[in-house]
Structure 1
Amino acid sequence: MSWLQIKTLIRPEQAEQLEDWLLEAGACAITLTDAEDQPVFEPIRGTTPLWQSTQLTGLYDGNLDVDLMLNQLQQSWQALYPDASVPVLQVEILEDKDWIREWMDSFHPIQMGQRLWIVPSWHQPPEPNAVNLILDPGLAFGTGTHPTTALCLQWLDGLDLKHKTLLDFGCGSGILGIAGLLLGADQAWGIDIDPQALQASQQNAERNGIDPARFPVYYPEDCPDLSCDVLVANILAGPLISLSEELSGLVHPGGLLALSGILAHQAEDVAAAYRRWFELDAIINKDGWVRITGTRKVD
């Protein structure tokens, strides 16, 4: 079976209407992607922000009458937006492929540090005797491929976590908390504002044979009073700064901290917010993103 793919560049305010029209015209799937490498930072909870230049792609059955559909779209657009140019629609014929297999083949095991591997569930671990964290790409962030996740995983891999407790603040997929447990921590907790993240963390922990009692996850407002030996927070610079006193207070004296999700030009502002409580290490940069680590001062 052949497929047709229709692409167009739009502004955020046009997305919903054009998406509706493409679906009415028979689209099997619609995707929205960043057209100019302009990531959206710190979205408001419960919103789905779009980029200023968004690429909208519709996937169709190859038997579609393309000329008829394009003519209908043009008429609908001009009726609603008489003063705006009709977006240019690019039509491509896609060769018949096993798209699920194509997608799966794009993800491979990744080594993080000396001991830890991140392994998609459909792959055999390259080193069966290593610490293998089974994780599939999903809705929540954190497959290990982003520089900020990699920086945190490499840091955890270099620690002695035996008999330690760990808090994964902004847990996403749960990758950091689960990695900490597999690397020897006794107990971990996850905190996130996104229900999909909490669900993904629980599912990934189960997939890796983690007892749910060793990795409970919470919304911030529901979390019990905690104090940990190691805290990792891979979120964004703004929340890290505003939460600096709260996060610092969760770490035992002598405990360890790792912060990421921080762009290089934001590093000094974030570091300054934590120096009151932590002796900070040298800042580590990877592809324009940084990791800030330190040890909680003993009063």
Structure 2
Amino acid sequence: MNYYELLFTLISPEDYQRDLLIDELATLGFDTFEETEFGFNAYIPADTFDRDTVEEMLEPYYEQFTFSYEVNLIPQKNWNEVWESNFEPIEIDQKIRVRATFHEARPDYPYEIVIDPKMAFGTGHHQTTAMMMALMLEHDFTGRRVLDMGCGTGILAILAAKLNAEHIVAIDYDPVCYESTMENAQLNQADNITALCGSEEAIPDGKYDTILANINRNILLDQMESYSRVLKAGGDIYLSGFYESPDLEIITGAAAQFGLKYSAHKEMKDWVAARFVK
């Protein structure tokens, strides 16, 4: 799959300005973002990119702050080179280390996850993924059946496996993410992960002890009922991909309508990851 890369440059960038644009672009189907010194890069599958729609979305922001962008078409064959030039290992709470296949192993970390860099969201570098992983560390996954929605590279599913979950179903609508999840599960000897390509309609019959969903606010709101339907009573759900204000209140209200009670959340650079219990 080919992707379009939009290179955004902001004059005197503030974090909130960058995050506003990223949040809006995510609703249009942009699924990967990379912060840069003077802005950020955004990536979207070529077959879903519509420049007129992007311009219409950006129009109000031209009056609020100064920015510009350029568009490049990136063939899939070049993506590994892009990631390998930018991918550095990350550490979370001194317990998790996420590295690529070309980095040296560090067995001194309790949980080391190997991710083969590709055009798939979820390397742990974005605040939402890091916070989801930090939240997961605080709870017992032993023997649990887990559903990972919008799995990207499969990083959260892999962590669930390393935390002794019994079985994990990982779902993403993007074929690249589906393939990446299968490959990364194999790299991490996580043979209890089943990867599926699709959206909420692909959720297998059955009940889950835990649901992981790091997507974006609009999709979470749209799929909340489906999540609640397959979550066991007493089960928990971890949600991210949205901001503290006003999104957390909106998400909490929507979750309550389906019997999901707010438990706790983490915040990093205005992004939020929250846990709810049914």
1:217 aligns with 196
**Following TM superposition, by how much is the alpha carbon of 1:57 offset from its aligned partner in structure 2, in angstroms?**
6.4
Deviation track 1:61-104 (CA, whole Å, cap 9, x = no partner) reads: xxxxxxxxxxxxxxxxxxxxxxxxxxxxxxxxxxxxxxx99964
1:43 is the counterpart of 2:24: no
Provide the rounded CA distance (Å) in 1 between the counterparts of 2:130 and 2:142: 21
* Normalised TM-score (structure 1): 0.68
Structure 2 CA distance for partners of 1:271 and 1:126, relative to 1, 3 Å: same
Mapped contact 2:83–2:117 kept (Cα < 8 A): no
* Regions of 4+ moved over 6 Å: 100-103
TM-score using structure 2 length? 0.73
Q: Provide the secondary structure at the position in 1 that maps to 2:26.
A: coil
Secondary structure at the counterpart of residue 249 of structure 1: helix
CA deviation vs aligned residue, 1:147-199 (integer Å, no higher than 9, x gap) = 11111111112221111111101111111111110121111011121111111
Question: Greater Rg, structure 1 or structure 2?
Answer: 1
The residue identity in structure 2 corresponding to 1:166 is V
Conserved 8 A contact 1:186-1:214: no
Please tell me the residue identity of whatever aligns with 2:144.
Answer: K
* Partner deviation per Cα, 1:256-294 (whole Å, 9 max, x = no partner): 111000122211011100123122123321111111212
Give the counterpart of 1:109 among 75, 81, 89.
Answer: 89
Give the share of equivalent positions with the same residue, in percent.
27
Shift in Å, 1:217: 2.2
Q: Do 1:167 and 1:190's aligned partners in 2 also have CA atoms closer than 8 Å?
A: yes
- Number of the residue aligned with 2:98: 118
Matches within 5 A, 1:1-299: 32-36=6-10, 37=18, 38-39=21-22, 40-44=25-29, 46-49=47-50, 52=55, 53-56=68-71, 104=84, 106-128=86-108, 130-211=110-191, 214-220=193-199, 221-265=201-245, 266-276=247-257, 277-296=259-278
Mapped to 2, the partners of 1:112 and 1:290 lie a distance apart of: 16
The Cα of 1:139 is off from its aligned counterpart by 0.5
Q: Is residue 262–residue 275 contact of structure 2 (8 Å, CA) maintained in 1?
A: yes
Q: Which amino acid aligns with 1:202?
A: M
What do you get for the CA RMSD once the two structures are aligned? 2.6
Q: Distance in 1 between matches of 2:153 and 2:95?
A: 20
Q: Indicate conservation of the 8 Å contact 2:174/2:197, yes or no.
A: no
Is contact 1:142–1:149 with CA below 8 Å preserved after alignment? yes
Query: What is the alpha-carbon distance in structure 2 between the residues aligned to residue 101 and residue 244 of structure 1?
Result: 37
Higher percent of residues as strand: 2
Counterpart-to-counterpart distance in 2, 1:108 and 1:125: 13
Pair 245,206 (structure 1): closer, same or farther in 2 beyond 3 Å? same
Going from structure 1 to structure 2, the CA distance change for 1:49 and 1:268 (only over 3 Å counts) comes to farther
The amino acid that maps onto 1:34 is F
Which structure shows the bigger proportion of residues in helix conformation?
2
**Residue ranges of structure 2 left out of the alignment (5+ in a row):** 11-17, 30-44, 56-67, 74-79
